[in-house]
Amino acid sequence: MEYVFKCENLSKKYGNFTALDKLNLSIPKGSIYGFVGKNGAGKTTLIRLLCGLQTPTSGSFELMGIKNDDKKITESRKRLGAVVEAPAIYKDMTARDNLIQQCLLLGLPDFDMVDELLDLVGLAGTGKKKAGKFSLGMRQRLGIAIALCGNPDFIVLDEPTNGLDPYGIIEIRELILKLNRELGITFLISSHILDELGRIATHYGFIDKGHLVREMSGEELKKECRKSVRMTVDDTKILSKVMEEKDYEYKIIDDKTADVYAEFIFSDLAKDFEKAGCRIITMEEHDESLEAFYLSLLGGETNV
C-alpha cells in the first residue's frame, strides 16, 4: 500500500511535557484519515510536525515518500494544503485577494482557479467584503479554499467544521467526499465532531497522551462498533437481576433504560421479564457510535 504520510517513533517534547511519544502512524494514499483524540492528546502537534512548522525531538516521518531530514521535504510540501487550527487568512483582503495571494505564494502562472474555488466553497458572492468581517464559518470555508489552491495531493484539516452551521457542515462534508472521490485527494482530518467524522473517514487513528491507541480502517471500526438492544423497562433493578441470571452484558442508561449487548430471542427474554415482574415498554436495535467507541477505547472521558 502506498502512503502519503508515515511516521516511526515520532516524539515531540516541549520542556518536560511530552506531546508526542514514539508515535507510529500511516496514512494511505487516497484515504480520508480521521484523527481522533482529546484536547492536548497530540493531534495538532503531529499536524505541526507534518507541515514543517516544528521539528521532531526524535523519530522520523516520511511525507509523500520523502524523509523529514531530506532537504527535498520543503519542496514536497508544495503538494500539501492545510488548515492548522484557525484558517490562515489576510483579514484586510477580500476572499478573492486572499486566494490570489496564495496563488502568488505558490508561484502559480495564473489565477484561473480563484473564481472556481470561491464558487466551490460558496464564497463567490462576497465581493469586496474584507475577510476580517467574515463569520467564523465563512473564514473556515476561505481557509479550505486556500488549502485547495495549487491542486494539492494531500490536505490536512484541523477541525474543519468549527464554527459552521449544520448546512455548512453538510457542504464541507460533501466537498471533502467529492475531492476525495473525484480527484483522489488524501485527507487528514482531526475533528471533535466524531459522528461527523464517522460519516466520511475511511481510516481512523485514535491518539491519547501522545500515543497512538489504535489505528484501523473504517470497515474494521464498523465491526468493532458493537450493536446493542436499547430497552425501556419498568424497573432497571429487575432488568439487572435478569441480565445477571442470563449472564448478558448490559449497561444501565437511567432508571428505565438500559443497553443489552447480547444476541437473544426476544420472546424468550420477554417471558423471563414477565416472570420477574417487569414490563418491557420498548425495545430497539442500537448502533454504538464512533463517539461511544472512542470513549470505550480511552476509558470514558468526554473531552474529545
Partner 1 sequence: MFRILYSDLHKILKSAALKIGFAAIAGYLLANVLVLKIVGAYMHIGIYSDDFITCFPEIAIFLITASTLLITVGDFSDGCMRNKIISGTSRTDIAMSALIGGMFQGFLYSLAGCLVTVLLGVIFGEGLNSYTVSEYADFWIINTMTCMAIGAFSTILILILGGKKISYVIGLAFAFVMKVFTMEVLDKLYPESGPCALRGFKFLLYSFFEKYVPYLYQSIRPHYSYLTYFIGCGGLILISVVLGIIVFNKKEIQ
Smallest separation, CB 153 to partner 1 (Å): 12
The binding track of 149-188 with respect to partner 1, each residue x by CB under 8 A or -, is -x--------------------------------------
- 270 binds partner 1, rule: CB under 8 A: no
Closer residue to partner 1, CB minimum distance, 61 or 293: 61
Helical (H) or strand (E) element with 199: helix 194-200
Report the C-alpha gap between 190 and 205 in whole angstroms. 9
Residue where the block lists cell 425501556? 232
Are the C-beta atoms of residues 228 and 260 closer than 8 Å to each other?
Answer: yes
Smallest separation, CB 45 to partner 1 (Å): 11
Please list every residue from 188 through 227 that binds partner 1, using CB under 8 A.
Answer: none
Closer residue to partner 1, CB minimum distance, 118 or 278: 118
Of these, 34, 37, 56, 81, which contacts partner 1 (CB under 8 A)?
A: 81
Closer residue to partner 1, CB minimum distance, 75 or 249: 75
- 89 binds partner 1, rule: CB under 8 A: yes
Helical (H) or strand (E) element with 294: helix 290-298
Q: Does residue 114 sit in helix, strand or coil? A: helix
Q: Does residue 113 sit in helix, strand or coil? A: helix
Of 168, 111, 102, 106, the C-alpha closest to 139 is 168
- 90 binds partner 1, rule: CB under 8 A: yes
Smallest separation, CB 159 to partner 1 (Å): 13
**193 φ, ψ (degrees, to nearest 5):** -90, 90
Closer residue to partner 1, CB minimum distance, 49 or 269: 49
- Segment interacting with partner 1 (CB under 8 A) among 96-104, 190-198, 201-209, 235-243: 96-104
- 74 binds partner 1, rule: CB under 8 A: yes
Smallest separation, CB 147 to partner 1 (Å): 8
Of these, 6, 43, 48, 96, which contacts partner 1 (CB under 8 A)?
A: 48
Closer residue to partner 1, CB minimum distance, 89 or 239: 89
Q: Does residue 62 sit in helix, strand or coil? A: strand
Of 120, 124, 162, the C-alpha closest to 140 is 162
Residue where the block lists cell 520542556? 15
Of these, 60, 91, 135, 276, which contacts partner 1 (CB under 8 A)?
A: 91
Helical (H) or strand (E) element with 6: strand 3-14
> How many amino acids of this chain bind partner 1 (CB under 8 A)?
35
- DSSP states along 127-183: TT-BGGGS-HHHHHHHHHHHHHTT--SEEEEESTTTT--HHHHHHHHHHHHHHHHHH
Smallest separation, CB 79 to partner 1 (Å): 8
Helical (H) or strand (E) element with 227: strand 227-233
Are the C-beta atoms of residues 11 and 58 closer than 8 Å to each other?
Answer: yes
Of these, 4, 36, 80, 233, which contacts partner 1 (CB under 8 A)?
A: 80
95-106 and 112-120 are packed helices; what angle lies between their axes, rounded to 10 degrees?
130
Please list every residue from 15 through 44 that binds partner 1, using CB under 8 A.
Answer: none
Smallest separation, CB 146 to partner 1 (Å): 7
Query: Which stretches of the chain bind partner 1, using CB under 8 A?
Result: 48, 51-55, 74-82, 84-93, 97, 100-102, 104-107, 146, 150
